[in-house]
Structure 1
Amino acid sequence: MSAIKFHATPAGQQALLTWQFLADCESKSGKKKYAGAPITGISVGWRKVVIKNSPDSINPCAYTFWSIERILENLKRHDIYISGSERYGDPRAQLLQGTAWEAVRPQILRTLDWPALADEALLPLVDELNTAYKKTAERWANNSAVRFETFAGQERLVLTPLDRLEEPKSLKQLRERVHSLLPHPDLPDLILEINRWTGFAEAFTHISQGGSRVKDLAVSICAVLISQACNIGLEPVVQSGVPALEYDRLTWVEQNYFRTETLSLANDALVAYHTQLKLAQIWGGGEVASADGLRFVTPVKTINSGPNLNILEPDAELLTITSPATNLLDFMES
């Protein structure tokens, strides 16, 4: 714990306090060394195993694991950071400050169509929130879907779950018909088929040998893609006796063919093919992307946009596109 010095943003201060408390406990002894342990923010599930009988009676093992979990969560959110680290550094350090920010501030505000003062930007949100609170308060007495319950001496808000809607018979029949019409290939076969359509594997070139290709390189590339995309490692895709799927071959391909440059070129090949599909054109011009149940929209005016000639005409006034298929798995889902 003393080897790495953690720092925290205001949102990560409580998690850092638990970590520092653990570090201090290393130099203490006795049964009450965990007395006064900070437990602010502990969930109901963790509280059951961390706290024995009273807030001063702590299960050391459970408290340690809870603290580690909080540290990991806050590291991922960058609420806890390490000075000097590129991956886990302070995200605020990358923000423009002083004269550098003042120089680009007018341009960014015009691009985002934001007012110069923060109070003006927040005022519509304040009014909307205030209106929502008032409407909720007016209908609270007649709202059977929400209530307060007392749990462990504290009140908590409880929302009644929505009633389940039964699926109509026609929907079930449609699902069965669609399912019967779709092929059911294995994932490796599917990726190899996509490569046959798009040739995306040609984008993977050796880091030092340029355009030289070994036999069945596409098979090895697809196997490495599966191992990385599914986060399963190389062992599950290794097949002894198949030269393209031997462990040594796959590690060599991963080290020499997989890098940001080749992955970007492979994605470009997928996007170029995807945008020519009639169904993709019906969906729109590519300004909307969906991933993991989230919907992303690229506005027409944005400083983060760039040209994509595969989607818009060359004489378009502004080429601003977020690809509808940004990676191999998105492409496959489409």
Structure 2
Amino acid sequence: IDAYEAIESVLNWEKFISTVAEAEKLARPADFDYLELLDNRYSQLRRYTPKLLETFEFKATSASLAVIKALEVIKELNISGGRKVPESTDTSFVKPRWLKHVVKGDTIDRHYYEMCALAELRSGLRSGDIWVAGSKQFQDFEDYLLADSSWQSMCSSQTIPVAVATDFTTYIEQRSLELSEQLALVSSMIVENKLVDVRIENEQLIITPLTNAVPKEVDEFSRKVHSLLPRIKLTDLLVEVDSWTQFTKHFTHLHSGEQV
């Protein structure tokens, strides 16, 4: 088969060349990072981030203090109306993936600096390294624990509310006795061959494999059902579904935001 003739039977050569050129413009390199596109969304973040930082008081462990300092820098810029991040600003919180976007030569990109700080704020809130003063959901981890005074009072009165002995010697004796009893029971059952799906063969412990819960007939039935489905391209299916629902009219251009 002549590849060129096969292509021209579908579309003419000029159209093919223009299509390839257009595809090359749209194609992204293998190491493409979506962070390169975030700057286009900065204006949307600015609709609420100044109010967010103004309203909530964020605190952090020592590991995330650099993020809190970055948020303070952003708050000061919001108040003063400044556009440039001071060159002496700490960027130790910036991860390697963000670094080339945040630090550009001798300057710090305001947009990416702020977006990186907000991304680290989100991660810190999820991990618990950062919390919100007065919040129930994002409170300091220490607030979940008993107050030290309450703990000391429970210890002195021996009223610690747990379902096991609080004295270590008593606890370990009880658990050791229970473990010995269970081991003796298992040993006797193995000797009498009473353990279900467990046996000793040639001085080795053998555990019977689990059986397949799905009958073999299901595989054949599944293949028959699959053979009844039409062989169509996914793109054709999307076009057909769009004719029913018109979902593509809700798509907007990535940069302009206009309806496609």
| TM-score bin, normalised by smaller chain | 0.3 to 0.5
Bigger share in helix: 2
TM-score (norm 2): 0.39
TM-score (norm 1): 0.31
